[in-house]
Amino acid sequence: MSAWKDNEEIEIFREYLRIPSVHPDIDYAPTVDFLKKQAKELGLPIAVYHPGSVDKPVVVITWVGQQPELPTIMLNSHMDVVPVYPDKWTHPPFAAEIDEEGRIFARGSQDMKCVAMQYLAAIRVLRKNGVSLKRTVHVTFLPDEETSGPMGMKAFVQSAEFKNLNVGFCFDEGIASVDATFPVFYAERSLWHVHFIISGTAGHGSLLHKNTVGEKLNYIMNKLFEFRQHEVERLDKDPTLQLGDVTTINLTVLKGGVQSNVVPPTIEAVFDMRLALNVEHDVFDRKLKAWCAEAGGGVEIVYEQNEPKVEATKIDNTNPYWVAFEKTIKDLNLKIQPLVFPAGTDSFYIRGLGIPAIGFSPINNTPVLLHDHDEFLQADVYLKGIEIYKNVITAVANV
């Protein structure tokens, strides 16, 4: 019989997956109630804070260590999940159905309710075994990570409640791996959402006006897509590079115009840009402004989001938490690949405070299905992840 048959931890995981904490309008109350029940069963204190908004709770379950004065370990996850298209799923997205192969189908099964429950499951085993750790461990559950966390982690790290946690190191989410190797993320690119608001000569569509918004837009787009193509070629030609090592640029929104025969006075183009670690932000900002000027002027740049450059977490002997993590992984005969996260996580705000953070989801030999239809996680893989985190948490909390 498979290890997941009638397994208590699998059932707890499935219960969490059934809570539809899905954007755009999330009621976090059922999730908070579920976590309060988990904390009570673990015999651990729980606190609920509202640093950003009264309807955006931050939940913290704490396991006090032998030396609570030491910097603590933060085991972070987010409670929210992205929207679903139910008609594209072969299983109801919030039923957490499990098939004969042990695949648990649910939104959040990979991103990232799995890791949240693996933290608690690992702690449950350790406490049952009478283990006592040197450092205090805080298991944190954040809202709105999938919307870049303005009312979640971004607000939380600025609060007195976060400062009182005295965090010295943080684990957060990673990504599944299709092979045996686990990706481990020590940094992430800076997210810029850039609006180009272009003004120009308006008039009848049959004429050849000068300085039209279309001409200016064409110039700016050519420059941006030339830069994009350069990054594409770098990635294609250098096998040592991963997506997180290059800058990505994508046109996401175009707005403007009222009628097919009228040249509009304004048009707006929005780009999603993820700046690689080697990009100097002030230099890149000046480049964008220079292209706008070369296009003919009359172009305003508005940053919907303009994340600062954040230093990567050290993954060498200068970081004792990394040393403990890496040794544990080797002792378990597992393989990891350090990478720069290609998208964004709450770790960005943690690293922004100078606190080392590692993104690690113990999911391998699994198709990457975060934000996809029919997202699933194999039950056996989930249970192995609990064993991994049991060892990893022990090692890092005893640094």
Residues designated as active site = 80, 145
* Residue 23, marked binder: no
Token pair for residue 366? 């699994």
Q: What does each C-alpha distance from 320 to 126, 139, 323, 340 come to in angstroms?
A: 22, 20, 5, 20
Smallest Cα–Cα separation from 392: which of 189, 238, 170, 207?
A: 170
How far apart are alpha carbons 205 and 290 in whole angstroms? 29
Name residue 367's amino acid.
P
Return the residue matching tokens 């569509």.
205
* Residue 111, marked binder: yes
How crowded is residue 320: how many other Cβ atoms within 10 Å of its Cβ? 13
Smallest Cα–Cα separation from 56: which of 29, 95, 20, 82?
A: 29
The H or E element containing residue 306 is: strand 299-306
How far apart are alpha carbons 399 and 377 in whole angstroms? 31
Smallest Cα–Cα separation from 152: which of 306, 26, 37, 14?
A: 26
* Residue 101, marked binder: no
* Residue 146, marked binder: yes
3-state helix, strand, coil in the chain (%, to 5): 35, 25, 40
Do the Cβ atoms of 60 and 139 come closer than 8 Å? yes
Do the Cβ atoms of 386 and 9 come closer than 8 Å? yes
How crowded is residue 271: how many other Cβ atoms within 10 Å of its Cβ? 20
How far apart are alpha carbons 105 and 91 in whole angstroms? 7
Instruction: Using alpha carbons only, give the angle 103, 107, 112 rounded to the nearest 5 degrees.
Output: 90
Smallest Cα–Cα separation from 263: which of 210, 197, 300?
A: 210
* Residue 209, marked binder: no
Return the residue matching tokens 């913290």.
60
Strand partners, 98: 104
Q: How far is CA 88 from the centre of its chain?
A: 24
Annotated binding site for Zn(2+): 78, 111, 146, 173, 371
Annotated binding site: 78, 111, 146, 173, 371
